[in-house]
Amino acid sequence: MRLFKTILAIAVLGVLFNLLNNNQGSIPPLGKFLNPFAGFWQNGERQDQLEEVLDVKGLRAAVKVVWDERQVPHIFAENTYDVYFAQGFLTARHRLWQMEFQTHVAAGRVSEIIGSKAVEFDKLQRRRGLLMAAEQTINYMGGFPETQLILQAYANGVNTWIETLTPATLPLEYKLLNYEPEVWSTLKTALLLKYMAWDLTGRNSEMDLSVIRSALGEDFVNKFYPKDTPRTEPVIPSGKPWRFEPMLAEENPPAFEPQFIRDLRKAEPERDNGSNNWAVSGKKTASGFPILANDPHLGLKLPSIWYEIQLHTPDMNVYGVSLPGAPAVIIGFNENIAWGLTNAGSDVMDWFEIEFKDESYAEYLYLNEWVKSDLRKEEIVVKGGKTVQDTFAVTRFGPLVYFGDHRLDNGHPTGLAMRWSAHDPSNEMGAIRGINLAADQKTFFTALEAFAAPGQNFAFAAKDGDIAIRHNGKYPLRGQDQGKFVRAGRDTTGEWRAFIPPDQLPSISNPWSGFVSSANQNPTGKNYPYYLGWDYEDYERGSRINERLEAMNNIKMSDMQVLHMDNFNKQAQLMLPFLMSQLNQQNLSEVEVEILGDLKKWNYLSDPHEKAAWVYSQWWLHLEQAIWSDELTLFGELRELPARSVTAELLLKSKNLVYYDNINTAEKEDRRSIINIAFQNTIEVLSEELGAYGETWELGRARGTNINHLLSVKGLGRPGLPTGGGVGIVNASKKDHGPSWRMVVELGDRPTARGIYPGGQSGNPGSAYYDNAVNKWVAGQYYDIHFLSSPDVTDQPKLSMTQLRNYQ
């Protein structure tokens, strides 16, 4: 009996140990996690720790770091190596887990952390070739010693921080998921940059457009999916003459109908990734110096995607936001210039259907011969499971991303290869370093030439008075509509053979209007000689920004802040009066009459308290669905809808159109009836979702914004923020997307700047600086930026200092 009891006790103890030492599903290993000596209890943060002297191994000289009241580090170093070493060291101190997790996502290594549920994601991620591209980038860097030095200094800084960690000081998320950080490398930085490139250029409607063309014809596509959408004011004003002899692209090959049909969009980045930027010249400002503003719209998460920083060496003084995981400043300003980015939206990713000889995918048909593909073997390590082997083919048309369970009519296996500009070697890090050092327009534009992917509209303003914008990137030379549809990867048609030379890219300096701007719309008018793509943002944000900037004079920084927060809904202004005129008033219920009354009173400002703003935006979505969902549900999926402005134009101009009729009902719907049906459906759906018409229907409550933790862990995010704005609105706040960094810079003898991002400098959920800026961001407020010229902080009580001493 005694023996039995003893064995039982030891067995139970063993089971308990196992339970408490390992993750149980999404539950952290409770023994480790609750351990008050090393578990989460140790992740609290006292606020008085920053006045300190640290001995740091690997620095070349002493570095002074001034912390401001928001914990922005202002790094003063004596040489280039040390400044990026310190950036790596301090960024890791605040954001290590996020940095590493993002690179695991980029590399397709999530299964290592969360187990088998991420295997399919990892496979797809590897087949996209981000790791391949990052490896090439690092090889290519060999030719650029300064870039290599910067990346290595940053990596050394990160690793020096990692070495200081103990089980107690590990960031919270490592404890939640029960793993440890690994050594940082330059490859990880390259992976992060490739991931950003994918996030900004990876969305593609080629498959959908091919399917739509097959089903509904060439005319349908040409009419409803045009490059030049109604009302668009291009980034570079249409009147600009182009004074160069353009290269000639090949004629468009005959149409090709793919047989390998997939819905690619589910795994692609959000359409909502966009941005605004503009610069106004001194002749329109109160100070006489240019002002630049930027707000990149990205997925909003905690920890935030940006990390604010100032980097100072004898030859550089730059301030702005950096990406945790990459050195230098991505968006910001220095003593002479300021710059901001918006996504270019031009087409840098093409899909090719490839014909393979057999299931080994080792040979594919090209110019009537079987050509060997490069087979890439991948090992996916799975936490708590067996390592998964995966092999995919790399062809001259890029890696084979989608394949399996489909054969061509002739019995050969097939799949889709992805040709992407970010797969080619390029030196964006060198470009960013050049931008950080740039002193005027000439040096700025020269630096941009190395920035291949992702394509961006770079807005620029300088102390010497210049303003400019350039649609920058590495863009293939294309025939008209080349890249709009999936092509056969069987011959040279559709292959990329040349790229548009940097000096022929769309750009403009010091236009007579006194300002430049971009909001992801079509970059050029019809007279630009090259075809760059077709799938750009609609006109609304760009045209609103332009009309406001045109009307303004004597501009101050605060005017730019107001424009960032501009909630005017141009699309509603265009459509709502017409839609209301089509409603059959006599059929409306009591609540519908009340709602219509509010819509009539609405001033088109999508402010957080506006019920009408939410009702209108939903009505419009229902209407789009009513028109298109019957025709465009093809192969079981609803395909890409025409642009808002195209649908709007149809509704305004065409009373009768075959597409108004829902082909799935016996009745014959016309324009008036679908507008009425959509209105009633909207009210019905919203009533069900939000209850009786009242406060819950307000935009800020019905939609608002949720800023979730990167792992979507409940309790670590900031859900339910009452934001206004929305799609097609300058303040592009959405459900989980929005202005990820609002910055306004006025150049001058010394630049003055304000900025804010929805989060905080610390990635530690136990820090007061984790989400301290969120409420101010919601309210449209800004922080005054301290652009310091020396580390001497004795007269500024809000500042404190860390000294990093070189320790051998």
Classify residue 648 as exposed, middle or buried by CB count within 10 Å of its CB (0-12, 13-18, 19+): buried
Binding of other proteins by 411 (CB under 8 A)? no
Nearest to 261 by CA among 629, 630, 639: 639
Task: Enumerate residues 6+ apart whose C-beta is below 8 A from 584.
Answer: 672, 676
Kindly state the smallest distance separating residue 177's Cβ from other proteins, in Å: 13
* CA 362/CA 370 separation, integer angstroms: 9
- Alpha-carbon 110 to chain mean position: 20
* CA 64/CA 480 separation, integer angstroms: 55
Yes or no: say if 245 and 504 are a contact pair by the CB < 8 Å rule.
no
Kindly state the smallest distance separating residue 796's Cβ from other proteins, in Å: 25
Kindly state the smallest distance separating residue 174's Cβ from other proteins, in Å: 13
Kindly state the smallest distance separating residue 114's Cβ from other proteins, in Å: 16
Nearer to other proteins, 386 or 714 (CB): 714
Nearer to other proteins, 373 or 764 (CB): 764
Binding of other proteins by 254 (CB under 8 A)? no
Binding of other proteins by 36 (CB under 8 A)? yes
Tokens 């339970």 locate to: 19
Nearer to other proteins, 543 or 764 (CB): 764
* CA 417/CA 414 separation, integer angstroms: 10
Binding of other proteins by 425 (CB under 8 A)? no
Binding of other proteins by 601 (CB under 8 A)? no
Q: Choose the binding region for other proteins from 166-174, 268-276, 367-375, 585-593 (rule: CB under 8 A).
A: 166-174
**Residue 321 backbone phi and psi in degrees, to 5:** -105, 140
Beta strand spans in 555-683 (E): 633-634, 637-638
Kindly state the smallest distance separating residue 393's Cβ from other proteins, in Å: 43
Task: Enumerate residues 6+ apart whose C-beta is below 8 A from 471.
Answer: 235, 236, 344, 346, 455, 457, 505, 506, 507, 518, 523, 524, 532
Q: Choose the binding region for other proteins from 15-23, 141-149, 181-189, 563-571 (rule: CB under 8 A).
A: 15-23
Binding of other proteins by 583 (CB under 8 A)? no
Kindly identify the residues of this chain, within the stretch 172-191, that bind other proteins according to CB under 8 A: 172, 176
DSSP string, 51-70: SEEEEEET-SS-EEEEE-TT
Kindly state the smallest distance separating residue 723's Cβ from other proteins, in Å: 22
Nearer to other proteins, 454 or 765 (CB): 765
Kindly state the smallest distance separating residue 637's Cβ from other proteins, in Å: 36
Count of residues engaged in binding other proteins, rule: CB under 8 A: 44
Q: Choose the binding region for other proteins from 25-33, 210-218, 226-234, 313-321 (rule: CB under 8 A).
A: 25-33
* CA 125/CA 195 separation, integer angstroms: 10
Q: Choose the binding region for other proteins from 43-51, 320-328, 331-339, 490-498 (rule: CB under 8 A).
A: 43-51
Nearer to other proteins, 43 or 582 (CB): 43
Yes or no: say if 353 and 414 are a contact pair by the CB < 8 Å rule.
yes
Kindly state the smallest distance separating residue 38's Cβ from other proteins, in Å: 4
Nearest to 376 by CA among 395, 359, 358: 395
Kindly state the smallest distance separating residue 10's Cβ from other proteins, in Å: 5
Q: Choose the binding region for other proteins from 269-277, 474-482, 746-754, 761-769 (rule: CB under 8 A).
A: 761-769
Residue from the set 115, 465, 766, 791 that interacts with other proteins by CB under 8 A: 766
Question: Per DSSP, what are the bridge partners of residue 337?
Answer: 462
Nearer to other proteins, 172 or 309 (CB): 172
Helix axes 119-127, 130-141, angle to 10 degrees: 50
Nearer to other proteins, 9 or 53 (CB): 9
| Three state DSSP letters for 708-743 | EECCCCCCCCEEEECCCCCCCCCCCCCCCEEECCEE
Kindly identify the residues of this chain, within the stretch 681-740, that bind other proteins according to CB under 8 A: 713-716
What residue ranges bind other proteins (CB under 8 A)?
Answer: 2-3, 5-6, 9-10, 12-13, 16-17, 20-21, 30-32, 34-47, 166-168, 172, 176, 713-716, 764-768, 770
